[in-house]
Structure 1
Amino acid sequence: MQSTSAIVLALLAYTSSVQATPLRRSEPALSLTQQLFIADTAVDRFALLPDDKQFLFDFNQKQANPGAGGEIIAANRKAFPALVGTGAGMAVGRLNACGMNTLHVHPRSAELQIVVQGRIVTEMVPENGVNDANGKRRVIRNEVGPFQMTPFYQGSVHTQFNPDCDPAVFIAAFPAEDFGTGQIADETFALSDDVIAATFGQSIAGADIDKVRQAIPINVALGVDECLKKCGIPKNH
């Protein structure tokens, strides 16, 4: 009996020790941006950025998947963790001859854009109810030259186009660390064929929807016939 009692007590002690030890699950390591987010104080955030070079962002780098007409290099809090806590972001756009940054929106931020090289034609469509003198939806269009600026409001649909044969460069400032970008054409043609057909009526035949979808560039695309002819740039068929 004493031997049995000793065994029972030993088993109970072992079970108790196992239950008291929490199970350890392998969790993915937090990114630097995540660590900066949950730091208790701003002082602690600086401790997570010990290298002065972590406060330097190079817009001379190349975009991972540039479009045919240029590239956009964005500094948001993922690409540049030192932005955490600043409430700000920035992008530099380089548009080649006849290059266009296709219609897009920034879902979480307004944008202030200044041209530093060449000229850019911009168009912006604000929200519903903003109409012109004729009662039609207003499109705000400007030709922006070097060191001139134009705003794009949060959620507004807008685009930029380089009408010349020389490259144009702009700088965009955002009051947000994660401003985001949504290309209108990509998002529209990602919807089901029925929705697209209902949206565009008879202007797009159902059999052609996949062709149109595949022809939509991801970001910056060549466009505008007059500029292509002027600069001697052949169309892609």
Structure 2
Amino acid sequence: MGAQMLAVLALLALCSQALASDPSPLQDFCVAIKDTDSRVFVNGKFCKNPYYTTADDFFFSGLDKPGNTSNSVGSKVTPVNVMQLPGLNTLGISMARIDYAPYGLNPLHMHPRATKVLVVLEGTLYVSFVTSNLDNRLFTKVLNKGDVFVFPKGLIHFQFNVGHTNAVAFAGLSSQNPGTITIANAVFEAKPPIKNDVLAKAFQVDKKVVDYLQAQFWMDNN
């Protein structure tokens, strides 16, 4: 009996470890501190008293309005996450409207905390995502009006308007605060700058090429 009980307890322990996991973070990092007087609330926001909650806390207006695409990349993202819509707090979802000028690009970027599903309302988009190392497979598709495409969480992806007219897409994301890391901006516009000898070796190019890229204006279309 004792041996059977020990085996059951061992099995339960293994099952509990298999089921346990860290919660998905809602911010980029949280530095651990021992001083509780300096504590902050993490992985969300403080909650409003339900007695004072109104319908406006769950309402956002304006996604019918096109974003301004007159910039160097020719696209504009209009996000609706917990920063714009407080009622999304703790619900694990958000969305965005993306407008594209003809040949406009939503540059290579990733969402560290969310999978994205994209639906095209108008136009024709060439979309892609790249798998992680060591595979680095490129998945591509040309989307037309009414088409849907999924970009897995944390993978680098982009959308490019290959049509002669404006394009519009809506995206749903599996986080109230998905985060966006635009690859070129993060690499070449870091503050303070990443050392050019590091980037030159990483990209296998001359330091002058890195100096040139770091001197450019990197557009944030969010």
Hey, what's the Cα distance between the residues in 1 that align with 2:68 and 2:75? 12
AA at the equivalent of 2:211: D
**CA shift for structure 1 position 85:** 2.7
Aligned residue for 1:215, secondary structure, equals coil
- Relative distance call for 1:218 and 1:149 in structure 2 (3 A) is same
**CA shift for structure 1 position 216:** 5.1
Structure 2 residues without counterparts, runs of 5 or longer: 1-40
- Counterpart pick for 2:53 among 40, 45, 49: 49
Hey, what's the Cα distance between the residues in 1 that align with 2:98 and 2:145? 14
Aligned residue for 1:127, secondary structure, equals coil
Hey, what's the Cα distance between the residues in 1 that align with 2:65 and 2:167? 17
Matching of residues 83-232 of structure 1 within 5 Å: 83-130=88-135, 137-189=136-188, 190=190, 191-202=194-205, 205-215=206-216, 217-220=218-221
Q: Percent identity?
A: 24
User: Structure 1, residues 113-172: CA drift from partner, whole Å, max 9, x if none?
Assistant: 111111110011011243xxxxxx310000011111111111100000001121101111
AA at the equivalent of 1:175: S
Hey, what's the Cα distance between the residues in 2 that align with 1:96 and 1:88? 27
User: Structure 1, residues 40-79: CA drift from partner, whole Å, max 9, x if none?
Assistant: xxxx44x3432x3332212246769974302100011112
Hey, what's the Cα distance between the residues in 2 that align with 1:65 and 1:126? 29
**TM-score normalised per structure 1:** 0.66
RMSD: 2.4
Aligned residue for 1:86, secondary structure, equals coil
Matching of residues 19-58 of structure 1 within 5 Å: 34-36=45-47, 44-45=49-50, 47-50=51-54, 52-58=55-61
Q: Is the CA contact 1:67–1:219 (under 8 Å) kept in the aligned structure 2?
A: no
**CA shift for structure 1 position 186:** 0.9
- Counterpart pick for 1:72 among 59, 74, 77: 77
Hey, what's the Cα distance between the residues in 2 that align with 1:187 and 1:217? 9
Equivalenced residues, count: 173
AA at the equivalent of 2:126: V
Higher percent of residues as helix: 1
Matched with 1:5 is none
Structure 1 residues without counterparts, runs of 5 or longer: 1-29, 131-136, 221-237
